[in-house]
Amino acid sequence: MRKKILIILIPVILFIAGCSGGSNQSQSPDYEATKKMVTDIVKSEDGKKAIVEILAEETTQQLYVIHDDTVNKAIQEALTSEKGKEFWTKMFTDHEFVKAFSESMITQQEDVFKRLMADSNYQEKMLELFENPEFAKLIQTQLKSQQFKGHLEESIQQTLESPLFQATLTEIVIQNAKKIVGENGGGSESGEEKESGGSNGQSGN
């Protein structure tokens, strides 16, 4: 099943390079149909697992992807051709496809990042980069730029207006208020008990 999905994906990419130069009306159905096919495959759990597992297999890499010059050349030509660029430009301006594509890559990106963070060579290179005076100067310049400040203000504004953030903040305020009321209530009860005990002692005398 998963190998079939990969076999479907490769012709889809090759299809881009082989599109005939017809009118916009004839290209539109092809684009929409292909976009839907790619989006459906990428969004499906089987599609995600298939791509990862198949590409991870050494035999598959040798036979179909990595060492097959014919397939490599065909894919490169498909991606770098004018029609290929136009196709992928349209695809990545489609919010639905971008969301599906991004979600399908989250797990792989997290795995790569975790492996890099555990790699001593990577850590050493990152430390060297952060200790580089030119890099530090570049970061400072970017942080002081109006563009960054504007982006930061916009991000903060979006966060404050986010329903999720507002709900979380409200929950925190309510919990803290309950805690404060509980502490004050407990203190009042203790004070009343002490006063009651003191008055009883005086009456006994």
16-30 in b/e form (b: 16+ CB < 10 A) is bbebeeeeeeebeee
Residue with tokens 């971008």, as numbered in its chain:
98
Q: Tens of pLDDT along 128-175? A: 888 888 888 888 888 888 888 888 888 888 888 888 888 888 888 888
Handedness of CA 168, 172, 177, 183 (dihedral sign): positive
The reply to whether 147 and 168 lie within a common domain is yes
Is the residue at 182 inside a domain? Answer: no
User: Can you give the residue range of the structural domain that contains 146?
Assistant: 132-177
Cα separations (Å) of 69 from 36, 72, 77? 29, 5, 12
Query: Does the structure show a pLDDT above 60 at 110?
Result: yes
Residues 110 and 32 in one domain: yes
Closest CA to 17 of 102, 64, 74, 61: 74
Domain match, 165 and 103 both: no
Do residues 108 and 143 both lie within one domain?
no
Query: Where is average pLDDT lowest: 70-79, 119-128, 188-197?
Result: 188-197
Answer yes or no: is 205 within a domain.
no
Q: Is the pLDDT of residue 118 over 80?
A: yes
Domains of the chain: total: 2
Grouping H, G, I as helix, E, B as strand and the rest as coil, residue 8 is helix
In a domain, 172, yes or no: yes
pTM over 0.85? The answer is no
| Cα–Cα distance for residue pair 205/200, rounded to 1 Å | 9
Say if residue 85 is in the same domain as residue 112. Answer: yes
d(CA 183, CA 84): 66
pLDDT averaged over the chain?
71
DSSP calls for 93-142:
T-HHHHHHHHHHHHHHHHHHHHHHHH-HHHHHHHHHHHH-HHHHHHHHHH
> What residue ranges in the chain does DSSP mark as E strands?
none
Sequence-distant (≥ 6) Cβ neighbours of residue 31 within 8 angstroms:
87, 90
**Beta carbons of 42 and 103 less than 8 angstroms apart:** no
Q: Are residues 54 and 139 in the same domain?
A: no
* 169 and 140, same domain (yes or no): yes
Residue 112: pLDDT band (50, 70, 90) is: confident
* Percentage of residues of the chain with pLDDT beyond 90: 0
Please indicate, yes or no, whether residues 35 and 78 belong to a single structural domain of this protein: yes
In a shared domain, residues 28 and 79: yes
